Amino acid sequence: MTVDQPDVLQIFRDTKALLEGHFLLTSGLHSASYFQCAKVFQYPWHAEALCQGIVDHFRTENIDTVVSPAVGGIVVGQETARLLNVRSIFTERKDGEMTLRRGFEIQTKERVLVVEDVTTTGGSVKEVIEVLNQSGADVVGVGAVVDRSGGSVNFGVPYFSLLQLTVEVYPADACPLCAAGSNPIKPGSRDLKK
């Protein structure tokens, strides 16, 4: 099953994964909406349908490995790799720096697809690409479930998202939600502790 943008948005609504309120995003920006992909991916049939859309877009790229940033990208990376029948690994932060850990390695010229759940500024994916470039990988593209930037992010490689929206975000010091007296909540995983 191939999903189009209205299907993706409906899946988020049906699973109550499109949250409204006041949120502190991983990027440090504030927003009145949040895409909680974990609520979508708790249903394997949704994970399969969404990741199939990414796979269909990149199928001809002869991908060797799918790499995603932890924690949010792990499920989308695993399912995308399963559908491509290739290896799935992830990067994670150590002392604030994105790195490959857990014995994961990338070979020179290994063809890698980077996948992410939600793109806002693209910061985490850019860090992943830098790690892969340092390893000598050939990054063939980036796939995401949701692009909140409206297509404004440039990774220097082909980029595809299933759902592309322009969702307003605010710097913390210029946030109208904060000015109205609201305090943001942080539903993401950036600050998880061991």
The Cα–Cα gap between 92 and 168 comes to 27
Task: For 34-55, give one letter per residue: b (16+ CB within 10 A) or e.
Answer: bbbbbbbbeeeebbbbbbbbbb
How large is the greatest C-alpha to C-alpha distance in the chain, in angstroms?
52
Q: What is the pLDDT along the chain (194 residues), one digit of tens a residue?
A: 567 888 898 999 999 999 999 999 878 889 999 889 999 999 999 999 999 999 999 999 999 999 999 888 999 999 999 999 999 999 999 988 998 999 899 999 999 999 999 998 899 999 999 999 999 999 999 999 999 888 899 999 999 999 998 888 899 999 999 999 999 998 865 554 44
Rounded to two decimals, what is the model's pTM? 0.88
Domains detected in the chain: 42-167 (3.40.50.2020)
Residue type, 172: A
